[in-house]
């Protein structure tokens, strides 16, 4: 099972990857939205903001998100680490229910280019 530190490092790596995105993915990375990522097996939520082509984690909370972010992810820590490492394909994980993503329709259309 991935640790909180490994999950935070995975989010940092995702943020770094977003910073170097090109084309349509760059447009998606440029969104300015509140973000939360609930790690279900650790029952921890990373909350912050996607802005300036990066994800900025402002706080780590015990339990599910306290506020409804504009973009909400939910998954196990191992799945987060595997997604960022390229070992797990987002569409398959989302389709099978291993990863849950909630956002507005317009944001979903943009985010699919990033993920």
Residue 60 contacts by C-beta under 8 Å, 6 or more apart in sequence?
A: 4, 8, 44, 45, 46, 47
CB atoms within 10 A of CB 68: 9
Q: What's this model's pTM, rounded to 2 decimal places?
A: 0.90
Residue 55: domain span: 4-114
CA distances to 33, 39, 73, 80 from 9, in Å? 21, 13, 16, 10
**CATH number for position 50:** 3.30.1050.10
Residue 68 contacts by C-beta under 8 Å, 6 or more apart in sequence?
A: none
Are residues 6 and 40 in contact, defined by beta-carbon separation less than 8 angstroms? no
- The number of domains in the chain is 1
Summarize pLDDT for 35-84 with one digit per residue, the tens.
999 999 999 999 999 998 889 999 999 999 989 999 999 999 999 999 99
Task: Look at residue 115 in the predicted model and tell me its pLDDT.
Answer: 63
Q: Using the predicted structure, report yes or no on whether residue 114 has a pLDDT greater than 70.
A: no
């Amino acid at each position: 099972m991935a640790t909180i530190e490994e999950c935070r490092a995975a989010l940092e790596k995702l943020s770094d990857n977003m910073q170097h995105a090109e084309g349509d993915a760059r447009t998606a990375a440029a969104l300015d939205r509140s973000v939360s990522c609930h790690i279900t097996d650790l029952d921890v939520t990373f909350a912050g903001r996607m802005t300036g082509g990066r994800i900025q984690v402002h706080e780590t909370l015990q339990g599910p998100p306290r506020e409804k972010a504009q973009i909400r992810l939910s998954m196990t820590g191992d799945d987060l680490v595997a997604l960022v490492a390229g070992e797990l394909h987002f569409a398959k994980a989302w389709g099978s229910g291993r990863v849950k993503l909630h956002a507005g329709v317009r944001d979903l259309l943009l985010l699919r280019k990033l993920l």
